[in-house]
Structure 1
Amino acid sequence: MSLLDQARAVRENAHAPYSNFKVGAAIRSASGRVFVGCNVENVAYPEGTCAEAGAIAAMCAAGEYQIAAVAVIADSPDPVPPCGGCRQKLAEFADGAVVVTLATTDGAQLETTVGDLLPGAFGADHMARS
């Protein structure tokens, strides 16, 4: 099953009773393992969890910390990019050249990179003291 197919499958498990906007994400780690996540809303909207954040948490829980590829899918007219917070989270675990496939449930796709999603990313090097 492709990374995008896994994102599509987990999207069905999203808990989105307030927005009705289900999102699925799948991340392939450097070891080749795949971790998935879906958005999870709660009544204290918008205090839910994004699909990308869920997939990253699953990866870290398994003891892996390097992203090799990402796929995100939503039922939208155009491919939906990760929110700003998730872009920063992806940049924490992925090289800027890592490919991110954004897709719609109708089949539209857009390939980009973590670096293109978050130009000028804030990183650990910014916190280094001389």
Structure 2
Amino acid sequence: MSRAYAPYSGFPVGAAALVDDGRTVSGCNVENAAYGVALCAECGLVSTLAATGGGRLVAFTCCDRNGELLMPCGRCRQLLWEHGGPGLLVDTARGVRPLAELLPDAFGPADLGR
């Protein structure tokens, strides 16, 4: 999170996840003056996953500068679904929950074959 770039919101975010091969990957938010092209921490995390050999996300957490847990936005939940699936464990303020509970009826790769 110390590398987050959040000069506009002043709200740095960090994310970390366990990969099925035992690695840990992380990401941080990167803002932009053109707000629509800002990147959430989850985007950085998934980019790190791909750049370091891929794999399947097993467990995920996201927090603010004070260590308070944050929930991924809808776009990021969809991104996490692609790389972790319905069983990805997400650390939430109400305890660890599978991603399927946070993104019911998600669209995924299997839907493209219909």
Instruction: Tell me whether the two structures share a fold, i.e. TM-score over 0.5.
Output: yes
- Counterpart for residue 100 of structure 2: 115
Runs of 4+ in 1 over 4 A off after TM superposition: none
Give a deviation string over 1:77-104, Cα, whole Å, max 9, x none: x7321011110010001131221114xx
Q: CA deviation at 1:109?
A: 6.7
The alignment's C-alpha RMSD in Å is 1.8
Picking from 39, 59, 63, the partner of 1:69 is 59
Stretch deviating more after TM superposition (91-100 or 28-37): 91-100
Alpha-carbon separation, structure 2, partners of 1:58 and 1:79: 21
The 5 Å alignment of 1:71-90 reads: 71-75=61-65, 79-90=69-80
Q: Which runs of 5+ in 1 are unaligned?
A: 1-10, 103-107
Q: Give, as a single letter, the amino acid of the residue that structure 2 aligns with 1:24.
A: G
Is the 1:38–1:50 contact (alpha carbons within 8 Å) kept by the matching residues of 2? yes
For the residues of structure 2 that align with 1:21 and 1:113, how far apart are their CA atoms?
26
Whole-angstrom distance in 1 between the partners of 2:15 and 2:51: 16
**2:43 maps to amino acid:** A
Letter in 2 for 1:12: S
1:93 match: 83
Which residue number corresponds to residue 54 of structure 1?
44
TM-score, structure 2 length as denominator?
Answer: 0.89
Matched with 2:14 is 24
Name 2:29's counterpart in structure 1.
39
Shift of 1:112: 2.0
Which residue type is aligned with residue 83 of structure 1? C
Answer whether contact 1:25 1:55 (CA < 8 A) is retained.
Answer: yes
- Listed as ranges, the gaps of 5+ residues in structure 2 are none
